[in-house]
C-alpha cells in the first residue's frame, strides 16, 4: 500500500495518458482501494468510486471488446533530432507481431488532456540534489499544466508515499514537492536504526532503501490503469533500486498495461557513489529499458540544475508534439498476450519514439 505522508489512505484517481490496457500485480504491500472506470477513448475522463472491495472490481481496459481498437501515441524526430509535426496517415505504417495493420485514425495531438505522475526519489543518495529537483520540477509544473490536465506527486525511498493526489493546481503540487524530505530507514538524511529517526520500522526483513520499481508498479496499477488518454510518468531519480519486491520486468509490464509513457530525468550525485557501495553507479543502464519499452526516454542531467530545466523543457515539448494512430488489429483475440509493435514513417532519417508493444486484454463480460 502506498503510505501517505499525512495519513494512511488510498489513491483517488482522475485524468489521462498513452492508450492500451491495465493490470494488477501482487506486492508485499496491498494495492490501493480507490479505482476508476475507464470511459471510451474519445470521452472525457470520468471518476467513480466503486462500492465493492477491490478484489471484486472488474479490471478496466482501453482495448475494448466492442471496438477492439488499439491507439498509440508516438513522437518522431528527424536526422537532426528535431521534432517532426507534419506527418499524415499515408506517411506511417504499423506492424503488430510483424503483420501489417490498417491505420483507421491518425492525428497530431498537441492539446489532448494529459495525466501526469511525478515520482520523486527521496532516498539518501539524493540528499545533495533534491533542492535542484524541487526548483526545476516546480517550474515545469507551472509551464505544462493546462485546464484539462491533472497531475499527482509521489515520493519513494524506504516507502512509496502519495504527497499530492490528482489536481490541476500547480501550486498545490509545488507545495507538496517543496515539503519533500530525504528519508532513510534511520530518518531524514541519516543512516541508522529504523524507527529511531522519522523513517518507518520495517515489518519484515532488512531495512529497505529505494523502492523505485515498487513505486512504478504501484502507481501504474493504482493510479493510472483506469485513466484514459495520454498518461506519462516522470521519474526524478539516480535510477538505483534497493529493496523493491517488484522486479524490473514487472514494473515495465505494469506501466505497459497502464498505457503509461515513462520518462526518467537521471540526476545523480556521483561523489556519493565514490564512498557508498562496492559496485559504484549503475542507474543509467537500469533506466534505459524501463523508458524505451514504454515509449519514453532517459535524460541524463548529472547534478546540473540548468540541464535539469532543459530536460523538463524537452519532455514538455515531446508531450505536446505527439501523434495518435489507431487501428483494429488483424489478430482480434483478447487473450492477454503481449503483442510487439513496430511503427515506421517515411522520411530521411526519421526516428520513432513509441512503446514496444501492448497486452491484448479485453473488457470483462
pLDDT in tens, 172-184: 999 999 999 998 7
Is the pLDDT at 298 greater than 80? The verdict is yes
Mean pLDDT of the chain: 78
pLDDT value of residue 42: 41
Bridge partners of residue 162, in order along the sequence = 154
Q: Average of pLDDT values for 133-156?
A: 94
Is the pLDDT at 297 greater than 90? The verdict is yes
Confidence label for 44 from pLDDT (cuts 50, 70 and 90)? very low
Reference 342, options 94, 79, 150, 171; nearest CA is: 94
pLDDT value of residue 363: 57
How far apart (Å, rounded) are the C-alpha atoms in residues 12 and 17?
16
Reference 133, options 234, 53, 225; nearest CA is: 234
Q: Average of pLDDT values for 267-274?
A: 64
How far apart (Å, rounded) are the C-alpha atoms in residues 165 and 202?
25
pLDDT value of residue 30: 39
pLDDT value of residue 125: 87
pLDDT value of residue 51: 44
For residues 20 and 38, the answer to whether their CB atoms sit within 8 Å is no
pLDDT value of residue 323: 96
Grid coordinates of 98: 510483424
Is the pLDDT at 221 greater than 90? The verdict is yes
Residue 305, CA distances (Å) to 132, 188, 266 in order: 6, 23, 12
How far apart (Å, rounded) are the C-alpha atoms in residues 358 and 355?
8
Grid coordinates of 88: 499524415
Is the pLDDT at 150 greater than 80? The verdict is yes
pLDDT value of residue 119: 98
Is the pLDDT at 224 greater than 90? The verdict is yes
What is the value of pTM for the model shown?
0.75
What CATH architecture applies to the domain 114-319? 3-Layer(aba) Sandwich (3.40)
Domain boundaries, the chain: 65-110+322-349, 114-319
pLDDT value of residue 269: 67
Confidence label for 229 from pLDDT (cuts 50, 70 and 90)? confident
187 DSSP 8-state letter? B
pLDDT value of residue 131: 92
pLDDT in tens, 21-41: 333 333 334 344 333 333 433
For residue 328, give the 3-state DSSP assignment: coil
pLDDT value of residue 270: 58
Is the pLDDT at 205 greater than 80? The verdict is no
Residue 108, CA distances (Å) to 30, 155, 210, 329, 340 in order: 39, 33, 38, 21, 23
Is the pLDDT at 47 greater than 70? The verdict is no
pLDDT in tens, 53-85: 444 444 333 333 334 889 999 999 999 999 999
- The gap from C-alpha 47 to its chain's centroid, in whole angstroms, comes to 20
Is the pLDDT at 294 greater than 70? The verdict is yes
Which residue's C-alpha cell is 541524463? Answer: 300
Q: What does the DSSP assignment read for 88-119?
A: -GGGEEEEETTEEE-EEEEEEESSS-EEEEEE
Is the pLDDT at 111 greater than 90? The verdict is no
For residue 139, give the 3-state DSSP assignment: helix
Q: Average of pLDDT values for 298-311?
A: 93
Is the pLDDT at 340 greater than 90? The verdict is yes
Amino acid at each position: 500500500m502506498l503510505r501517505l505522508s499525512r495519513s494512511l489512505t488510498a489513491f483517488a484517481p482522475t485524468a489521462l495518458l498513452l492508450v492500451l490496457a491495465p493490470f494488477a500485480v501482487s506486492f508485499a504491500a496491498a494495492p490501493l482501494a480507490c479505482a476508476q472506470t475507464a470511459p471510451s477513448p474519445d470521452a472525457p475522463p470520468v471518476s467513480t468510486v466503486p462500492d465493492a472491495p477491490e478484489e471484486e472490481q472488474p479490471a478496466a481496459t482501453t482495448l475494448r471488446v466492442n471496438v477492439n481498437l488499439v491507439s498509440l501515441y508516438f513522437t518522431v524526430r528527424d536526422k537532426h533530432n528535431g521534432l517532426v509535426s507534419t506527418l499524415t496517415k499515408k506517411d506511417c505504417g504499423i506492424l503488430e507481431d510483424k503483420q501489417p495493420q490498417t491505420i483507421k485514425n491518425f492525428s497530431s495531438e498537441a492539446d489532448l488532456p494529459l495525466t501526469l505522475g511525478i515520482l520523486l526519489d527521496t532516498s539518501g543518495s539524493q540528499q545533495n540534489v533534491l533542492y535542484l529537483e524541487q526548483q526545476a520540477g516546480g517550474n515545469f509544473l507551472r509551464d505544462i499544466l493546462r485546464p484539462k490536465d491533472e497531475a499527482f506527486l509521489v515520493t519513494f525511498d524506504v516507502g512509496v508515499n502519495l504527497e499530492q493526489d490528482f489536481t490541476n493546481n500547480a501550486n498545490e503540487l509545488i507545495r507538496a514537492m517543496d515539503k519533500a524530505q530525504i528519508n532513510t530507514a534511520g530518518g531524514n538524511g541519516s543512516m541508522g536504526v529504523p524507527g529511531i529517526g522519522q523513517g518507518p520500522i520495517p515489518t519484515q526483513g532488512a531495512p529497505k532503501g529505494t523502492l523505485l520499481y515498487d513505486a512504478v508498479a504501484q502507481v501504474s496499477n493504482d493510479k493510472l490503469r483506469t485513466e484514459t488518454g495520454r498518461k506519462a510518468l516522470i521519474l526524478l531519480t539516480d535510477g538505483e533500486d534497493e529493496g523493491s519486491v517488484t522486479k524490473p520486468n514487472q514494473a515495465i509490464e505494469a506501466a505497459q498495461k497502464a498505457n503509461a509513457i515513462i520518462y526518467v530525468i537521471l540526476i545523480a550525485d556521483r561523489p556519493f557513489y565514490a564512498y557508498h557501495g562496492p559496485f559504484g553507479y549503475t542507474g543509467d543502464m537500469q533506466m534505459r529499458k524501463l523508458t524505451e519499452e514504454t515509449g519514453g526516454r532517459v535524460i541524463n542531467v548529472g547534478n546540473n540544475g540548468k540541464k535539469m530545466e532543459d530536460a523538463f523543457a524537452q519532455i514538455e515539448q515531446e508531450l505536446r508534439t505527439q501523434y495518435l494512430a489507431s487501428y483494429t488489429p488483424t489478430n482480434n483475440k483478447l487473450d492477454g498476450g503481449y503483442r510487439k509493435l513496430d511503427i515506421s514513417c517515411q522520411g530521411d532519417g526519421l526516428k520513432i519514439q513509441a512503446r514496444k508493444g501492448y497486452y491484448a486484454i479485453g473488457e470483462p463480460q
